[in-house]
């Protein structure tokens, strides 16, 4: 059995059911009326805390909030409505490839893909010297770049337009 009194932290931990009283602490409790009294006081305090009720906000509080939010709008909605950036990048790549396939024909695209694969495998240094030759042979460099830029630009403009449409709809609904 321990001779020292139980710490109030241990008693609180025990009542919070975060700690189990060790055997020597339990033995001490049986012998020590002071510790039993402290435990009893905390037990009553914990029980009374469950019954405490604080004054509530006025009954019309919710209505007042709803009046205020009539003129406010969730600020961060835009970030949820817009499509994630990775999706736009993916869509741009797919779009560029699709448009290129239509304009140049599938055979030319297949050829281009094969040459890119070859470039990749032959290494960056040889690619540097060869890329201009390949591009010149197929006359693809300006066309591919232009198509990619047009597709990317188109997607960005569409995104901005959609955001503006959504904003104006929200504004109209707030005004209505």
Partner 1 sequence: MTDHRAIVEAILAGKREQFRLLVEEFQRLVSHIVFRMIPESQDREDICQEVFVKVYQNLGSFRFGSKLSTWVAQIAYNTCLTALSRKQLIIDDGFADRVEDSRPEWSASEMWRPDYRHESDDTATIVRREIDQLPPIPGTILVLFHLENMSLQQIAQVFTMPEGTIKSHLFRARKMLKERLTAKYQWEEV
Interface residues for partner 1 in 10-39 (CB under 8 A)?
12
Interface residue with partner 1 among 34, 49, 172, 176 (CB under 8 A) is 49
Q: Which residues of 45-59 are buried (b: 16+ CB within 10 A; e: fewer)?
A: eeeeeeeeeeeeeee
Kindly state whether residue 126 participates in binding partner 1, applying the rule CB under 8 A.
no
Kindly state whether residue 59 participates in binding partner 1, applying the rule CB under 8 A.
no
In the chain, the largest separation of any two C-alpha atoms, in whole Å, equals 99
Distance from the first to the final alpha carbon of the chain: 77
Q: Which is nearer to partner 1, 125 or 173 (CB)?
A: 173
Kindly state whether residue 77 participates in binding partner 1, applying the rule CB under 8 A.
yes
In angstroms, the Cα distances linking 118 to 19, 25, 127, 130, 143 are 68, 78, 9, 11, 21
Q: How far is Cα 121 from Cα 16, in angstroms, rounded to an integer? A: 66
Closest distance of CB 122 from partner 1, Å: 45
Interface residue with partner 1 among 4, 34, 48, 124 (CB under 8 A) is 48
Tokens of 68: 């205020």
Kindly state whether residue 149 participates in binding partner 1, applying the rule CB under 8 A.
no
- Single out the residue of 92, 78, 85, 84 nearest to residue 165, CA to CA: 78
Kindly state whether residue 121 participates in binding partner 1, applying the rule CB under 8 A.
no
Kindly state whether residue 142 participates in binding partner 1, applying the rule CB under 8 A.
no
Interface residue with partner 1 among 3, 4, 34, 75 (CB under 8 A) is 75
Interface residue with partner 1 among 4, 17, 34, 70 (CB under 8 A) is 70
- Single out the residue of 16, 37, 36, 15 nearest to residue 26, CA to CA: 36
Kindly state whether residue 61 participates in binding partner 1, applying the rule CB under 8 A.
yes
Q: How far is Cα 14 from Cα 9, in angstroms, rounded to an integer? A: 8
Kindly state whether residue 66 participates in binding partner 1, applying the rule CB under 8 A.
yes
Interacting residues toward partner 1 by CB under 8 A: 8-9, 12, 41-42, 44-46, 48-58, 61-62, 64-66, 68-70, 72-80, 170, 173
């Amino acid at each position: 059995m321990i001779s020292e009194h139980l710490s109030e932290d241990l008693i609180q931990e025990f009542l919070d059911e975060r700690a189990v009283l060790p055997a020597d602490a339990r033995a001490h409790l049986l012998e020590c009326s002071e510790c039993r009294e402290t435990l009893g006081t905390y037990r009553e305090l914990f029980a009374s805390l469950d019954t405490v009720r604080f004054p509530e906000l006025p009954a019309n509080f919710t209505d007042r909030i709803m009046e205020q939010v009539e003129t406010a709008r969730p600020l961060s909605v835009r970030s949820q409505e817009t499509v994630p950036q990775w999706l736009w990048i993916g869509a741009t790549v797919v779009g560029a490839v699709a448009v290129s396939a239509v304009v140049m024909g599938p055979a030319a695209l297949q050829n281009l893909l094969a040459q890119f694969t070859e470039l990749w495998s032959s290494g960056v240094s040889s690619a540097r010297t060869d890329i201009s030759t390949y591009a010149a042979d197929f006359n693809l460099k300006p066309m591919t770049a232009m198509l990619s830029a047009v597709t990317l630009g188109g997607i960005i403009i569409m995104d901005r337009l959609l955001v503006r449409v959504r904003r104006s709809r929200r504004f109209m609904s707030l005004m209505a």
